[in-house]
Each structure stands twice: as structure tokens, then as C-alpha cells.
């Protein structure tokens, strides 16, 4: 399973979600997307995006200090940040890129 | 502010300038005007005049309501409970008291569902905990429009002998007046009155006591003497708004329905709040991949004054706690609050123009971020 990383630290809303959406648009099914973000809105908006776009938010963790393992260089610039693991669904619905209607009706989680 | 309220305000500045506590003729005249305003609002709210106090703003009234219930219930305990979508005055005051006492258990925020409605079973569990001095639940949320089940909330608070503080700042004059509360707070702006006037309703049965030295102002519920002209203007606005409330509500609801249909047809836009059980004049939505601040500015450029709960539009750079509590998108958020028809005679045309211009405004703002093909 392929994993790609979106480092959106230092970007403010709605850029982290836009970077995630770009990565998800171009990624094959079952890709794992790791998103790093420092914007306070990302805590709410990345889960909301996953719900609207039928992607699974596998985990959301707060990363503090130098405890991260395998994190990219530059983490010292951001003492704390959020790390999201998003799974691109196995079957990409055709609506994924175009159908706001299906995204809206997918409210129950 | 309603034109009639403005006229009353100007006239009352001349007639009611004196200190209503003075015994000379001008003071007595001011007292008579203040009493008259109080009677109008008491009658409208279904309470006695002695139960109505004027405070300097809606949030000031709300804060006073909370502090007085807390102090009045101090023998029960100091714990406070509120829905997670209450006005920030409630949330910051509650958190402040818990922090000062270094006891997080003194403050509980009750979650809401995706539509913003308070979880009644969680509320019941929260008020059942001994030592709870009060619970705060709003009549409706001014940001997303969702109404709260006040009757049931009040019943379960009553069962645990916990007084219910109701914030009606978003609904008074727009919706039927709440009947289920132990303390009620409102703001004259919601019914077309002037800014700078809040009302605090403390029924005689409620155990409420203002912390601090005894005051002889406004039945002892504040130490700020109200401006008589503001109170009289607010009372005039109330009379006007109440006389037309049902028609007004029907007009607003129809316009909001039109807005809802148009907005929910837009690409990647999610309408927020309860679609049915809601304030008649508010519609809120969030647009994916849109900078809320940029959209507010773009709509302003096109002649529309809208609100937003997005982080980039707030002074703290934190997104709206209401949108966060619902678990909906906080960015690209727009809140449309329809004014009263007497204030905006061209409302119908304005809504049509808004519907016509919104798609282009959203596309423009998305294009700035290169986010049109996601």
C-alpha cells in the first residue's frame, strides 16, 4: 500500500484541505495519505472533508516536540502539529471529483 | 434598527434625559418612561415588570444571569453545565471559574449533534451530578439557526433541581418567546431595537443573587443605570416587531428556503444547521476550498454584508466553536442573517441578487487559491 505525505505545516485554512484534496485527486485507490498541519482549523476541517468526500480518516494524532519517529526534517520549526492518516477509498466513486450532491448526502458517519 | 425605534430614541433623548432616581419633575418623567418601557417588555415576555431588568447589552445580561444563578446556588455547589454551542460569554465565563478554582469538574460542555441540537441524555447526565448550580441552553443558535428543545431541557433540569439559564439573544422578536426557563437573557438588537440594551428576566421563584455589593439599580441586578431613551426605543421596536412577527416569520422562512435550495445546489457547498426546526431568518453554509475572509470581502464588494465563522475572519484565528462542535467544515463559512422587512424593504430583490451572484463569488475566491478542479 502506497503512502504519500502532505506537509501542510505553516499553511493556514483552507490550504491544508486543498493540499490534501490535490493529493487525493491524483492518488490511486487505497493510498494512505499522511497530512501534517499546524492550522487550528485543520483539526475540524480535515475530518469534515473526509466525511464529505467519503474518505476514511484512520487516525488523528497530536505530535509534540521531538518525539516523532520517521518524521521529516524541519520538525523543530513546529514544536507541535497534527498528523492525520487518510485512506483513499478502494473504489473511487465517479462523484469524488465532481459530485457535490453525493458528498452532501453522505452525512452519517 | 427599526425606523420607528430610531424616532422614539431621538424623541426620548429629549423627554427622558434626566436621572430616573431623582425626585424633580424631569427625573419623575424619566422614571415614568422607563417604567413604561419595562411594562411593554414584561407584557411581551409574559413576566412581571419587577422581573425585567435592563442591562448594557445582551451578553452583559447573559453574564449577569449566569453569575447570579451561580452565586444564588452556591450552597448546592459551583458546578456549571452548558451546551457546546452556547454564546462565548457563557463558555469563557464557565471555563474561567473552573480554571480559577483549579477544578475542571466545575465546568461541563454538553455535546450537540451534526445539526447543532443539544444531546438531551448527555445534558441529563451532566445536571444529575451533585453540586450543579446551573445549566445554560440557548433558545436558538444565532450562528446556525438551530433551535434547542427548551421544554425538555427545562423539564430534566427541574427534575434535578438545577435552574436553567436561557440565552434568547438570537430569537427574541423572531421566534415565539421562550416559556421554559429560570433566567432569560435577550438583546434589543434581535427585535429591531437599538444596540446597547440587554434584558435580563429573573422570575421571582428563581434563586438568583448578584455577587458583589447590594445595588439599588434595576431591581438590584446590575449597577449600571440604563439609558432611558434606549429602553423606550427597545420597547417601541418590540411593539412593532411583535405586531408583525408571524407575517415577518413567514416572509423570512420563504426567503431562507429559496436561499437554501439555491445554495445547496452549488458545487461543494454544505448548508449547516437543522433544515426545519430553526430560526426563520438565518442561513449558514460552508464552501469547500474557500477562504472565508476572502469570500466575505468578495461579497461585501458586491454589496452584501454577511457574517462568517471561519478562523481567518475571527480575531483569535480560531474557527467558530459552534461549527467545530457540529463537526462541519469551518472554512469558507458564510452566515446570512435577513433583516426585518421594515429595515430592508428591498429584501426580496436583495436575496434574488445574492443567489445570482454567489456562484461567481465562490468561483472567484476558489480561483485565487487554484482550487477550482478538486
Output the 3-class SS for chain A: CCEEEEEECCCCCCHHHHHHHHHHHHCCCCCEEEEEECCCCHHHHHHHHHHHCCCEEEEEEEEEHHHCCCCCCCHHHCCEEEEEEEECCCCCCHHHCCCHHHHHCCCCC
Query: Cα B257–B262–B267 angle (5° rounding)?
Result: 140
CB < 8 Å to A12, chain B:
311-312, 317
Same domain, B160 and B18: yes
ipTM of the complex: 0.83
Of chain B residues 84-143, which have a CB less than 8 A from chain A? 114
Q: Using the beta-carbon criterion (under 8 Å), do B329 and A49 form an inter-chain contact?
A: yes
For chain A, say whether B274 makes contact (Cβ under 8 Å): no
Q: Using the beta-carbon criterion (under 8 Å), do A52 and B331 form an inter-chain contact?
A: no
Q: Is B45 within a domain? A: yes
pLDDT confidence of residue B190 = 96
Tell me which residue in A12, A44, A49 faces B312 most closely, judged by beta carbons. A12
Minimal CA separation from B104 to chain A, in Å: 22
Q: Is B263 within a domain? A: yes
Instruction: Give yes or no: A50 in active site.
Output: no
Question: Which of B219, B242, B265 is a domain's end point?
Answer: B242
Tell me the three cell numbers of residue B1.
434598527
Q: Residue B254 sits in a domain of what CATH number?
A: 3.90.1150.10
Q: Using the beta-carbon criterion (under 8 Å), do A15 and B369 form an inter-chain contact?
A: yes
pLDDT confidence of residue B318 = 85
pLDDT confidence of residue B203 = 98
pLDDT 10s digits, A46-88? 999 999 999 999 999 999 865 445 555 555 678 899 999 999 9
| Best A19, A40, A41, A99 residue to mutate vs chain B (most B CBs within 10 Å) | A41
pLDDT 10s digits, A28-41? 999 999 999 999 99
Its domain, for residue B217, covers 3-242
Q: Using the beta-carbon criterion (under 8 Å), do B268 and A41 form an inter-chain contact?
A: no
- Torsions phi, psi for B325 (to 5 deg): -65, -30
Same domain, B180 and B253: no
Same domain, B131 and B278: no
DSSP letter at B186 equals: E
Q: CA dist B229 to B6, B294, B342, Å?
A: 10, 39, 21
Q: Using the beta-carbon criterion (under 8 Å), do B289 and A18 form an inter-chain contact?
A: yes
Q: CA dist B309 to B22, B328, B329, B335, B362, Å?
A: 46, 11, 10, 8, 16
Residues 6+ apart with CB under 8 A from B114: A107, B326, B327, B328
Query: Over chain B (374 residues), what is each successive 10-residue block's mean pLDDT?
Result: 93 90 93 96 97 98 98 95 97 97 97 98 98 98 97 98 98 96 98 97 98 94 95 97 94 96 95 97 96 94 93 77 95 95 92 97 93 83
- Torsions phi, psi for B121 (to 5 deg): -70, -35
Same domain, B189 and B276: no
- Torsions phi, psi for B298 (to 5 deg): -65, -40
Tell me the three cell numbers of residue B115.
445539526
A12 vs A94, residue with greater confidence: A12
Question: Which of B226, B242, B258 is a domain's end point?
Answer: B242
CB < 8 Å to A25, chain B:
373-374
CB < 8 Å to B317, chain A:
12, 40
Residue B250's Cβ-count burial label (10 Å; 0-12, 13-18, 19+) is exposed
B150 close to B166: Cβ distance less than 8 angstroms: yes
Minimal CA separation from A97 to chain B, in Å: 6
CATH 3.40.440.10 applies to domain A3-104: no
B236 close to B287: Cβ distance less than 8 angstroms: no
With H, G, I as helix, E, B as strand and everything else as coil, classify residue B364. helix
Domain locations along chain A: 3-104
* DSSP secondary structure string for all residues of B251-289: HHHHHHHHHHHHHHTSTTEEEES-SSSB-TTEEEEEETT
Tell me which residue in B289, B311, B319 faces A17 most closely, judged by beta carbons. B289
Question: Which of B227, B242, B257 is a domain's end point?
Answer: B242
Q: Is B228 within a domain? A: yes
Model confidence, pTM: 0.91
Q: Is B114 within a domain? A: yes
Q: Using the beta-carbon criterion (under 8 Å), do B270 and A15 form an inter-chain contact?
A: no
A108: pLDDT strictly greater than 50: no
- Torsions phi, psi for B132 (to 5 deg): -85, 120
Q: How many CB pairs under 8 A join A and B?
A: 82
C-alpha B73, offset from chain centre: 24
Q: Using the beta-carbon criterion (under 8 Å), do A103 and B330 form an inter-chain contact?
A: no
Separation of alpha carbons B267 and A99, rounded Å: 7
Q: Is B144 within a domain? A: yes
Same domain, B305 and B323: yes
Separation of alpha carbons A98 and B90, rounded Å: 41
pLDDT confidence of residue B181 = 98
B266 close to B362: Cβ distance less than 8 angstroms: yes
Catalytic residue among A4, A13, A85, A103: A13
Minimal CA separation from A73 to chain B, in Å: 27
pLDDT confidence of residue B116 = 98
> Scanning every residue of chain B, which has its alpha carbon at the shortest distance from the alpha carbon of A26?
B374
Residues 6+ apart with CB under 8 A from A63: A36, A71, A75, A80, A81, A82, A83
Same domain, B302 and B346: yes
If pLDDT is split at 50, 70 and 90, which confidence band does A97 have? very low
Q: Is B373 within a domain? A: no
pLDDT confidence of residue A1 = 78
Q: What is the total count of domains within chain B? A: 2
Tell me which residue in B264, B331, B373 faces A45 most closely, judged by beta carbons. B331
Same domain, B209 and B273: no
Same domain, B203 and B267: no
Q: Is B107 within a domain? A: yes
Minimal CA separation from A68 to chain B, in Å: 25
B360 close to B366: Cβ distance less than 8 angstroms: no
Minimal CA separation from B273 to chain A, in Å: 12
Tell me which residue in A40, A44, A51 faces B317 most closely, judged by beta carbons. A40
Q: Residue B198 sits in a domain of what CATH number?
A: 3.40.640.10
Separation of alpha carbons B179 and B355, rounded Å: 36
Residues 6+ apart with CB under 8 A from B154: B164, B180, B181, B182
Amino acid at each position: 500500500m502506497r503512502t504519500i505525505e502532505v506537509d501542510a505545516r505553516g499553511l493556514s485554512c483552507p490550504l491544508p484541505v486543498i493540499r490534501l484534496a490535490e493529493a487525493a485527486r491524483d492518488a490511486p485507490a487505497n493510498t494512505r495519505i499522511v497530512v501534517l498541519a499546524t492550522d487550528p482549523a485543520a483539526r475540524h476541517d480535515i475530518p469534515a472533508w473526509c466525511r464529505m468526500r467519503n474518505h476514511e480518516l484512520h487516525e488523528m494524532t497530536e505530535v509534540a516536540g521531538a518525539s516523532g519517529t520517521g518524521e521529516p526534517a524541519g520538525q523543530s520549526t513546529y514544536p507541535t502539529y497534527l498528523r492525520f492518516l487518510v485512506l483513499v477509498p478502494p473504489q473511487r466513486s465517479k462523484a469524488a471529483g465532481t459530485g457535490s450532491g453525493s458528498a452532501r448526502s453522505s452525512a452519517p458517519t | 434598527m427599526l425606523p420607528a425605534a430610531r424616532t422614539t430614541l431621538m424623541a426620548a433623548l429629549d423627554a427622558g434625559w434626566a436621572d430616573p432616581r431623582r425626585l424633580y419633575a424631569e427625573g419623575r418623567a424619566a422614571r415614568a418612561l422607563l417604567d413604561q418601557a419595562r411594562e411593554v417588555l414584561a407584557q411581551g415576555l409574559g413576566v412581571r415588570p419587577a422581573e425585567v431588568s435592563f442591562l448594557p447589552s445582551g451578553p452583559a445580561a447573559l453574564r449577569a444571569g449566569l453569575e447570579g444563578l451561580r452565586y444564588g446556588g452556591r450552597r448546592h455547589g459551583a458546578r456549571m453545565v452548558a451546551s457546546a454551542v452556547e454564546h462565548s460569554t457563557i463558555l469563557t465565563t464557565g471555563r474561567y471559574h473552573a480554571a480559577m478554582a483549579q477544578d475542571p469538574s466545575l465546568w461541563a460542555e454538553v455535546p450537540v449533534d451534526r445539526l447543532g441540537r443539544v444531546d438531551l441524555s448527555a445534558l441529563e447526565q451532566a445536571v444529575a451530578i451533585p453540586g450543579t448550580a446551573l445549566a445554560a441552553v440557548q433558545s436558538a443558535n444565532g450562528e446556525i439557526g438551530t433551535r434547542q428543545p427548551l421544554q425538555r431541557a427545562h423539564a430534566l433540569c427541574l427534575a434535578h433541581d438545577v435552574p436553567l439559564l436561557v440565552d434568547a439573544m438570537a430569537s427574541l422578536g423572531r421566534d415565539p418567546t421562550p416559556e421554559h426557563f429560570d433566567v432569560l437573557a435577550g438583546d434589543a438588537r434581535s427585535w429591531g431595537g437599538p444596540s446597547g440594551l440587554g434584558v435580563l428576566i429573573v422570575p421571582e421563584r428563581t434563586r438568583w443573587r448578584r455577587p458583589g455589593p447590594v445595588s439599588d439599580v434595576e431591581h438590584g441586578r446590575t449597577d449600571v443605570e440604563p439609558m432611558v431613551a434606549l429602553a423606550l426605543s427597545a420597547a417601541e421596536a418590540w411593539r412593532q416587531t411583535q405586531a408583525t412577527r408571524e407575517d415577518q416569520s413567514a416572509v423570512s422562512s420563504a426567503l431562507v428556503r429559496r436561499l437554501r435550495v439555491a445554495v445547496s445546489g452549488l458545487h461543494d457547498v454544505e448548508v449547516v444547521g437543522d433544515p426545519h426546526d430553526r430560526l426563520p431568518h438565518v442561513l449558514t453554509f460552508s464552501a469547500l476550498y474557500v477562504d472565508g475572509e476572502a469570500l466575505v470581502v468578495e461579497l461585501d464588494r458586491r454589496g452584501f454584508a454577511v457574517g462568517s465563522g471561519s478562523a481567518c475572519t475571527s480575531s483569535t484565528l480560531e474557527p467558530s466553536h459552534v461549527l467545530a462542535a457540529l463537526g462541519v467544515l469551518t472554512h469558507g463559512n458564510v452566515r446570512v442573517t435577513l433583516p426585518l422587512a421594515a429595515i430592508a424593504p428591498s429584501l426580496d430583490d436583495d436575496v434574488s441578487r445574492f443567489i445570482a451572484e454567489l456562484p461567481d463569488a465562490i468561483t472567484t475566491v476558489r480561483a485565487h487559491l487554484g482550487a477550482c478542479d478538486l
